[in-house]
Amino acid sequence: MITLAVDCMGGDHGVAVTLPACRQFLDTHPHAQLLLVGRPEALGALVHERTRVVAASQVVGMDDSVEVALRRKKESSMRVAIEQVRDGAAQAALSAGNTGALMATARYVLKTLDGIDRPAIATQIPNVLGGATTVLDLGANVDCTAEHLLQFAIMGSALVSVLNDDPHPPIGLLNVGEEAIKGSEVIKQAGELLRAAAARGDLNFVGNVEGNDIFKGTADIVVCDGFVGNVALKTIEGLASMIGGFLKEEFSRTILTKIAAIVAYPVLTALKRRMDHRRYNGAALLGLRGLVFKSHGSADALAFEQALVRAYDAARNDLLARVRVQVARAAPLPVARDTVL
């Protein structure tokens, strides 16, 4: 039996999305049980033999600052869900709450693993190979040293080895060109650390990759700092949304284009399915002494269910132990300088 602690109140839609997703997930996962964390009066819509309500009186808002979440909302559903993992009552926690608050709370409650300076957020982006490229970090760490990037690579490798059942998934370093001499000073140093780690057999480092390689699937894991990762992810979301809007607009322009839309419907549906980011919902917070997953705040029930599946698979395959082992094997990691200008 795998137990997940679910922050049922988080995200843009709260229980309207999380509870139907939990029900659907339970139906397809007979070996899972869920701790439904939130205000008990809001959780009545889901009664199931494999759920248990864990009361939490507060909710972290999507716009709450890290300070508010940490200091004034100690009874939040987000925090109580993470505490279930700390206390051993659940093997993983999931929240659609705001990223900054979730990362800060998870770090405060669970602490980081030995050898890890900063936890990272890893997400999956669909690629042309029909699979997905795992990109990290995505927003948690804006000023990174080369050592931080090495740690991200190690954690990403552990995650993908679980996801893809491949002990040595290929890792690329996001850069402005393939040549080792390219890039900023930090990136060049990170390249050296990664090559050294690969030479020791700790990692399968394939070298520098560029932005378009995320979609080509050149490497299973793409490592970058949180600033670059966040910009890349938001750029992807912006372009996908613009193209979707263009398609809708062009197909609804005249009666003829509306007919074309009907004829092309199966094709457009297939395209939408291939591009559907909901299938890849569920980012992993890596480097903590416990498993925490983050759903997109605007997730619908299907997307939230996917994030539940992701958290379940990670717990079932003991991702935490894999990260620990890979971090320890690569130890002693160089000590990271804490700030860079």
CA dihedral (237, 241, 242, 248) in degrees, to 10, reads 170
At closest approach, how far in Å is the CB of 339 from its own copies? Answer: 7
Cβ-based nearer residue to its own copies, 20 or 227: 227
Q: Does 132 bind its own copies (CB under 8 A)?
A: no
Q: Does 131 bind its own copies (CB under 8 A)?
A: no
Q: Does 139 bind its own copies (CB under 8 A)?
A: yes
Measured CA to CA, the distance from residue 179 to residue 286 in angstroms comes to 29
Packed helices 146-164 and 319-329: angle between N→C axes, nearest 10 degrees:
140
Q: In the structure encoding, which two tokens stand for residue 73, read together?
A: 């909302």
Alpha helices, H only, 180-283: 185-199, 213-216, 226-251, 255-263, 265-275
Cβ-based nearer residue to its own copies, 259 or 331: 259
Q: Does 335 bind its own copies (CB under 8 A)?
A: no
Site size with its own copies, rule: CB under 8 A: 60
Per the CB < 8 A criterion, the answer to whether 7 and 94 are in contact is yes
Those residues whose C-beta lies under 8 Å from the C-beta of residue 1, and which sit 6 or more positions away, are 31, 32, 33
Measured CA to CA, the distance from residue 67 to residue 318 in angstroms comes to 32
Out of 20, 61, 111, 251, the residue judged to bind its own copies by CB under 8 A: 251
- Identify the DSSP state of 58: B
Name residue 112's amino acid: T
Packed helices 301-316 and 146-164: angle between N→C axes, nearest 10 degrees:
90
The count of C-alpha atoms lying within 13 angstroms of the C-alpha of 264, restricted to the half-sphere facing its C-beta, is 14
Stretch that binds its own copies, among 21-29, 102-110, 153-161, 181-189 (CB under 8 A): 181-189
Out of 2, 186, 196, 309, the residue judged to bind its own copies by CB under 8 A: 186
Cβ-based nearer residue to its own copies, 122 or 187: 187
At closest approach, how far in Å is the CB of 13 from its own copies? Answer: 20
At closest approach, how far in Å is the CB of 174 from its own copies? Answer: 6
Subset of 45-104 contacting its own copies (CB under 8 A): none
Q: Does 260 bind its own copies (CB under 8 A)?
A: yes
Measured CA to CA, the distance from residue 161 to residue 156 in angstroms comes to 8
Subset of 98-127 contacting its own copies (CB under 8 A): 127
Q: Does 41 bind its own copies (CB under 8 A)?
A: no
Subset of 197-216 contacting its own copies (CB under 8 A): 210-216
Q: Which residues bind its own copies (CB under 8 A)?
A: 127-128, 139, 142-143, 174, 176, 182-187, 210-216, 224, 226-228, 230-243, 245-247, 250-251, 253, 256-257, 259-261, 263-264, 266-267, 270-271, 274-275, 339-341
